[in-house]
């Protein structure tokens, strides 16, 4: 990527924090899927 | 004899393969959602800057007297310097009081509102936009162009959040997060609200990560002037998907297209099956046209852009061909039922178990992505595939408890399922994917009738909003194959759109 000058970097801390939160939420959703698979294998299959 | 046996065996496994093709869209959707998790690392925020270009806001308007005045008022509340903002309303030969409303706003905001009148209208949005674009490109005032719809509401910081990406000269266009904002809403607008979490907040974030955007939202497209000039200074008029054409052309010209999820734009969306069908038919036909127009791109990687990448091609065609895949699955399962029932049963189970796991992951994650929207759309999110498909998923994933529930409930009702009943139910489950589309269509047929007031929403919840959209896509194939006229069915708007206080 080409470099370019930005005189004053916009504050994106809030946005970045929200995006990091989404990463955690994705892991939570994946964990739920794993739990369902394990429960099915163990008890309900 | 051996040859015949070999052909029969090959045919059987070919049918299994056809069913397993159904797993591809499920995995593609889940993969897209997984990419969202990487948006915290792969985004454009590292390259944004304070950038406030002179921005012309282009609004195509045809008979928008109900909404255009309020739209202009709200645009004047944008957190953006007034001397760098010009609202240009292209009045497409309106026959109502739209010109009068615009003239009143010109008097109220001198220097900020421009009336561009077309005396001959009705050619569609792209022609209307081109009329305004030609005027705007005559002088060098405009540094950026925001194309929007007359009825949408931009949250005050949204334009600034979009223009900051144009500080990077590699970015040609930026789009925002369109949210459903009908007040009061109904079941249909809640389905659309949830759909937009998946199709925008999730899918477009993943496309940011992947480095290619499929479509700029029609109601929120910000372009740099350089980009507009590079793509020919005009919007494509040959299709019904002018926004997708512009998105593709921008990326083919070597510029990035970015989705800014924090720039929120509220839009009034269809509140009935009929108006949704008309709107989505236009979009779906546009996608058929884009697929044909850019046929030289698909699955042909190019160092200059990612439109030709294998993964993007899979994303595109999984959506584009979903109705065909659903019919193929059902037809193959029914054929397998008569050829080799145990194999058909196992194949069916595997498909729906994968569907169940993907459904849980994507639905749960979607609801967590935008909790403000999911607070009032979570029921529609959960019922997005429809009650019948959810019941099939439950049976496939948890057969023993499901069987216990079925037997207990039939015992309580005082009848016993025979072998024939069970096999009829199995055949119904096999054909359901294909049958769901015409059943969804009946919801549209019933809607104008008295009974439809209650029956149509019930059918959508039972059949699912997803199959309803697949029915529209299938209809678009038929329209395109028949070469039906490209009519611009304008979505009826009441002007009752709002954003939360």
8 Å CB contact of A10 and B361: no
8 Å CB contact of B400 and A44: yes
CA distance A28 to chain B (A): 8
pLDDT band at B2 (very low <50, low <70, confident <90, very high): confident
Pick B49's closest partner by Cβ from A6, A19, A40: A6
State the Cα–Cα distance between residues B166 and B49, nearest whole angstrom.
Answer: 8
Burial (CB count within 10 angstroms: exposed 0-12, middle 13-18, buried 19+), residue B349: middle
Rg of chain A in Å (alpha carbons): 20
Burial (CB count within 10 angstroms: exposed 0-12, middle 13-18, buried 19+), residue B270: buried
pLDDT for B153: 92
Res A4 pLDDT > 50: no
Q: In what order do the strands lie in the sheet with B153-154?
A: B113-118, B85-92, B55-61, B144-148, B220-224, B171-180, B256-267, B153-154
Low-confidence winner among A2-6, B262-266, B343-347 (lowest mean pLDDT): A2-6
Residues of chain B neighbouring A38 (CB-CB closer than 8 A): none
Res B337 pLDDT > 50: yes
Exposure on the CB side of residue B379, measured as CA atoms within 13 A: 9
Rounded to 5 degrees, what angle do the CA atoms A33, A37, A40 make?
Answer: 135
8 Å CB contact of B361 and A40: no
Average pLDDT of the residues in B383-411: 93
CA distance B246 to chain A (A): 23
pLDDT for B487: 63
State the Cα–Cα distance between residues B312 and B291, nearest whole angstrom.
Answer: 13
What is the full DSSP assignment across B313-338?
A: HHHHHHHHTHHHHHHHHHHHHHHHHH
Q: Render pLDDT for B10-57 as a digit per residue (tens, 0 to 9).
A: 889 999 999 999 999 999 999 999 999 999 999 999 999 999 999 999
Q: Is-contact B29 B359, C-beta < 8 A?
A: no
pLDDT band at B491 (very low <50, low <70, confident <90, very high): low
pLDDT band at B486 (very low <50, low <70, confident <90, very high): low
Tokens of B362: 């994507």
* Omega before B184 within 30 of 0, i.e. cis: yes
Interchain contact A35–B (C-beta under 8 A): no
CA distance A22 to chain B (A): 6
Q: Render pLDDT for B263-274 as a digit per residue (tens, 0 to 9).
A: 999 998 999 999
8 Å CB contact of A22 and B400: no
Taking Cα atoms as reference points, which of B264, B263, B246, B244 lies closest to residue B255? Answer: B246
Average pLDDT of the residues in B298-302: 95
Pick A20's closest partner by Cβ from B40, B205, B262: B40
Burial (CB count within 10 angstroms: exposed 0-12, middle 13-18, buried 19+), residue B51: buried
Res B283 pLDDT > 70: yes
DSSP letter, residue B62: S
pLDDT for B195: 97
Interchain contact B54–A (C-beta under 8 A): no
State the Cα–Cα distance between residues B221 and B172, nearest whole angstrom.
Answer: 10
Instruction: Find the closest chain A residue to B38 by CA distance.
Output: A23
Three-state secondary structure of B233-296:
CCCCCCCCCHHHHHHHHHHHCCCEEEEEEEEEEEECCCCCHHHHHHHHHHHHHHHHHHHHHCCC
Average pLDDT of the residues in B364-384: 97
Residues of chain B neighbouring A26 (CB-CB closer than 8 A): 33-34, 36-37, 365
How far lies B280's CA from each of B194, B221, B429, B441, B484, in Å?
A: 16, 19, 27, 13, 16
Burial (CB count within 10 angstroms: exposed 0-12, middle 13-18, buried 19+), residue B254: exposed
% of chain B surpassing 90 pLDDT? 81
Q: Is-contact B407 B224, C-beta < 8 A?
A: no
State the Cα–Cα distance between residues B135 and B131, nearest whole angstrom.
Answer: 7
pLDDT for B490: 58
Q: Which residues of B371-401 are buried (b: 16+ CB within 10 A; e: fewer)?
A: eebbeebbebbebbbbebbbbbbebbbbeee
pLDDT, chain B, mean: 93
Interchain contact A31–B (C-beta under 8 A): no
Q: Render pLDDT for B211-261 as a digit per residue (tens, 0 to 9).
A: 999 999 989 999 999 999 999 999 988 888 889 999 999 999 999 999 999
ipTM over 0.95: no
CA distance B99 to chain A (A): 39
Classified as helix, coil or strand, B304 is coil
State the Cα–Cα distance between residues B216 and B223, nearest whole angstrom.
Answer: 10
Average pLDDT of the residues in B427-433: 97
């Amino acid at each position: 990527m080409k470099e370019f000058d930005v005189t004053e970097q916009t504050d994106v801390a809030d946005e970045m924090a929200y995006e990091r939160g989404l990463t955690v939420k994705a892991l939570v959703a994946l964990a739920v899927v794993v739990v369902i698979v394990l429960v099915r294998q163990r008890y309900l299959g | 004899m051996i040859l015949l046996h070999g052909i029969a065996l090959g045919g059987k496994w070919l049918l299994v393969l056809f069913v397993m093709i159904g797993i591809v869209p499920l995995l593609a959707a889940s993969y897209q959602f997984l990419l969202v998790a990487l948006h915290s690392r792969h985004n454009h925020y590292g390259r944004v800057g304070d950038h406030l270009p002179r921005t012309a806001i282009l609004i195509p308007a045809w008979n928008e007297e109900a909404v255009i005045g309020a739209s202009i008022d709200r645009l004047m509340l944008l957190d953006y310097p007034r001397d760098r903002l010009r609202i240009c309303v292209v009045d497409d030969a309106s026959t109502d009081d739209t010109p009068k409303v615009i003239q009143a706003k010109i008097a109220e905001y001198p220097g900020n509102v421009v009336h561009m009148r077309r005396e001959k209208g009705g050619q569609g949005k792209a022609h209307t936009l081109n009329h305004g674009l030609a005027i705007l490109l005559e002088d060098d005032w405009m540094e950026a162009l925001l194309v929007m719809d007359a009825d949408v509401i931009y949250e005050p910081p949204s334009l600034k959040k979009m223009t900051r990406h144009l500080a990077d000269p590699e970015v040609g266009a930026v789009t925002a997060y369109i949210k459903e904002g009908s007040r009061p809403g109904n079941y249909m607008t809640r389905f659309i609200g949830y759909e937009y979490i998946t199709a925008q907040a999730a899918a477009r974030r993943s496309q940011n990560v992947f480095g290619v955007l499929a479509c700029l939202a029609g109601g929120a497209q910000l372009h740099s002037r350089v980009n507009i000039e590079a793509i020919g200074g005009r919007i494509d008029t040959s299709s019904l998907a002018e926004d997708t054409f512009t998105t593709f052309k921008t990326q083919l010209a070597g510029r990035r297209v970015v989705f800014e999820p924090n720039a929120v734009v509220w839009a009034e969306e269809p509140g009935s099956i009929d108006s949704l069908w008309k709107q989505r038919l236009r979009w779906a036909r546009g996608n058929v046209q884009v697929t044909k127009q850019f046929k030289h791109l698909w699955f042909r990687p190019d160092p200059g852009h990612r439109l030709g990448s294998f993964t993007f091609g899979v994303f595109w065609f999984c959506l584009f061909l979903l109705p065909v895949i659903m019919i193929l699955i059902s037809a193959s399962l029914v054929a397998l039922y008569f050829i080799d029932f145990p194999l058909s049963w196992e194949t069916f189970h595997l498909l729906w178990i994968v569907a169940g796991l993907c459904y849980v992951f994507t639905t749960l994650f979607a609801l967590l992505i935008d909790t403000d929207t999911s607070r009032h759309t979570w029921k529609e999110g959960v019922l997005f595939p429809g009650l019948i498909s959810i019941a099939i998923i439950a049976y496939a994933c948890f057969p023993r408890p499901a069987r216990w529930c079925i037997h207990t409930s039939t015992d309580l009702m005082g009848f016993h399922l025979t072998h024939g009943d069970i096999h009829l139910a199995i055949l119904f489950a096999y054909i359901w994917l294909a049958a769901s589309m015409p059943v969804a269509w009946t919801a549209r047929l019933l809607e104008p009738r008295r009974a439809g007031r209650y029956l149509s929403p019930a059918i959508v919840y039972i059949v699912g909003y997803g199959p309803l959209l697949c029915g529209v896509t299938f209809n678009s194939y038929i329209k395109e194959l028949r070469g039906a006229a490209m009519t611009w069915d304008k979505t009826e708007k009441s002007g009752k759109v709002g954003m939360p206080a």
